[in-house]
Structure 1
């Protein structure tokens, strides 16, 4: 009995020794670089070539870091020593997991049913992920009693202005963005689809404009929250982890705006949008940076706990 307990504790300690902040940073960087190379090498294909293998690979490259980020956020939530608050990481972790579920659903919609709907069931989980991430960030900001200087508020305002301006340009000025006559009717092959898929698509299609507008609003809100958090934690012990979170949010914004623009261009040409464009790699960067941010905060809090324990033992 004791030997089995010792073996299990040894295994857990070995796993914990591998999951250090430094190892996760190196692993995340390797995953990001490998993903970028994959996109650069295989994103350009010959017309008519079967892209299933490439698209399936992009979903795997994206889902794995989101799963890792969700688990690392869950680990932070389970630690009472996390200084920014356990519920902060619960919110971000739920956002990572919801994004993972959304990717799986969207992948089934695109790769199995060969649909490019303006709205799909995946959007429900995408929106949940944005709200959850935003909730976590708000919980991180509230206890800090923001006392930003004027120049810092100026930076936040400038970031907000640029983000809003670019989002409006994507929404209004992009070719085909607001031309419903250019929209591709994705259900031309409806006879080959299950009835429930056709019914869901018909139910959700009228919500396209509202959902796209909501995405842009949430993207801008997350961008403002991330910049505020970055300045609030600037110079502290945990500044590095929140720099990663801010960079992750910026990557998510870039990927979303790139998706909106590519989708509008495809509609203007009378084509279906197909995922896997080069800017989609920023979705992977976002997940990797969220994972690294969670790992760095856990690593710093663990070191603080060990140093406090040593001080207590020294006093005794």
Structure 2
């Protein structure tokens, strides 16, 4: 059963929808006390400044003062922002299709999907909300920050479940492309179907690996073209496990060019440092096709981007 939406929702601010938090029981004398404890990633000085600017609201939309008393079980609204300047990611999203029900876009490499960590404005969701003015946009599925290609967004809350269920029920056809090393030994076996069981590694943060057991990840792998020591491959996943395509190619001895997680996890960039934009992960969500659960139409959206094969 879906949770009832609140009677009132604050408007977006520069493409960022307001976040909601319920006040839980505790020794909170003021709203500030609660926020510092509950959302501790923001320091007390940060919350004092936000309250002083009127950026924390009660359920009726009234701005709360720094010394506002804390009311247990009440609702608070605030907008996610970053204290430090957010560097611009120098690539643009392209809208492939927009109607009353869904939005299909072509995501660039390096752009995160949704606000998290050090990214708020420089995310696909916030950019699209600013571009379209649609506050109710929600991604139907996700791509890694490093991956480019087709992403679908639901426009209306009442049809969101119907669209998202397509991915859960695996009735959607997805095709990816990747650039990876050429392997003479592997070439003789292509096309092939990689079936394995994937699980999170306990000894390596973020990484997945193949383990014994019933397969939960299936990928068809085909050769598109060879360019010297590298090749472009077509990947058709039948399942949607975390990092599935990256893990499967790595397990075959041909890790995707530009992968900072497989086979060796690379360290996070230092704060304020920019990625090497000349070396993206060479993975592209090329195409998505499905029967629209709302309109009954046959839908197909294809990326207009390409992958550089040469070194």
TM-score under structure 2 length normalisation = 0.21
Higher relative contact order (CA 8 A, sep 6+): 1
Structure that is richer in helix per residue? 1
More strand by share: 2
TM-score (norm 1): 0.21
